[in-house]
Amino acid sequence: MTWIFNNDELDSVLAMKDCIATLERGYLDLANGIGGNRGRAEIVSPAGRDGTVYALKSMDGVHTPSGYASIRLNSDIIGWREVSGSTRREKIPAAPGDRYVGLVLLFSTENGEPLAIFPDGVVQRMRVGATSGLGLRHLARKDAATAAIIGSGWQAGAQAMAIVAERPVKRILCFSPNKANRESFARDMTARLGVEVVAAATVEDAIRDADIVACSTSALDPIIGHNHLRKGVHYSAIKPAEIAAEAINAIDRQTVHLRDNAPLVVRTHGVELAEDKKGALAPSARIDEKKMSELTDLLTGKAPGRQSESETTCFLNYSGIGYQFTMVGGLAFEKARAAGLGRELPTEWFTQVEHP
């Protein structure tokens, strides 16, 4: 049978510590050549709405030891707006019922059958947070007690979960431009994490005493600049523009998720992106990723992690891969099945006798 799950079911069974452990194993296997990943591919065309575009995106990966393969598909309407003087890239919930469209298809590498189909929302959130957690494990101070989250959206919650999973923080400060959003985030995450989360009025207020600073925004303009850096602090970003190039270059120890992982983007006639004007589609040319260690270098010991209490460190987690969906998606499938969740559909609906 092929199983169908929803986001609420997956959210009820996925724990950040488990996701971090699963991705750690997966990255070690990837480094040893027993996992495979294909980079993101995207076709972008005008959406027929003012200033918006349509993007069809896919990425996939195979993990031989677990017997799982997956493909993640997104059918997105994308727009841009100004928030507090900064341009934000936003997915628009344009599908019926004001909803987004993202799917993960999980397959067996033993017989090729489709094992499960589910929305990508929760798995997407947890794989980003867990990857940041692995970077944080090797780069943040062991005694980190205070953290700052810049952003209050869906992904910001996963960054907070990862911080709490990896370090004994006692307090998290959150800033985002919308006061109501940051206060709601603080209430919700305090209840979920059992750690005090406090809304901050400015970026500076949030990061002033933080041992860990995690950016989780949709901004196309830098949030953390050179003047924000303090000794001993770990910085992370999930978008290329969140930390200014000058700040990254001034940080003592820099690690990127993956080098040379630029997506394949095909544009139809008439497509214009706000990122083009701001140079935010790829990291700044002033940042040399080739000189940085990768996450797998930290995990395998090829590159050292933090070497002193006074070092500034950063983890640039803005280059996701389909392989993450195979690892976290496989974990979600196993956990949800063990909990008796989901609905069965005949596998015959998704297979055929005709030779493809």
Q: Does residue 138 lie in a domain region?
A: yes
Backbone conformation region of residue 189, classed left if phi is above 0, alpha if psi is from -120 to 50, else beta: alpha
Distance between CA atoms of residues 275 and 95, nearest Å: 24
The reported pTM is 0.94
Would residue 269 count as lying in a domain?
no
Q: What is the pLDDT of residues 22-33, one digit of tens each?
A: 999 999 999 999
Does residue 216 belong to any structural domain of this protein? yes
Asked whether residue 143 falls in the same domain as residue 120, the answer is no
Considering the domain architecture, whether residues 50 and 99 belong to the same structural domain is answered as: yes
Listing DSSP states for 269-330 in one string gives TT---HHHHHT-SS--TT--GGGSEEHHHHHHTSS----STT--EEEE-----THHHHHHHH
The answer to whether position 356 is within a domain reads: no
Q: Say yes or no: 189 and 308 in one domain.
A: yes
Cross-strand bridge partners of residue 255 = 293, 315
List the beta bridge partners of residue 90: 79
Cα–Cα nearest to 106, from 71, 61, 74: 71
pLDDT of residue 235: 98
Q: Tens of pLDDT along the chain (356 residues)?
A: 999 999 999 999 999 999 999 999 999 999 999 999 998 999 999 987 778 999 999 999 999 999 999 999 999 999 988 877 777 888 999 999 999 999 999 999 999 999 999 999 999 999 999 999 999 999 999 999 999 999 999 999 999 999 999 999 999 999 999 999 999 999 999 999 999 999 999 999 999 999 999 999 988 889 999 999 999 999 999 998 899 999 999 999 999 999 988 889 999 998 888 777 655 444 455 788 889 999 999 999 999 999 999 999 999 998 899 999 999 999 999 999 999 999 999 999 999 999 98
| Parent domain of 181 | 128-262+275-316
pLDDT tens digits, one per residue of 227-264: 999 999 999 999 988 999 999 999 999 999 999 888 89
Give the DSSP letter string of 229-241.
--TT-EEEESSTT
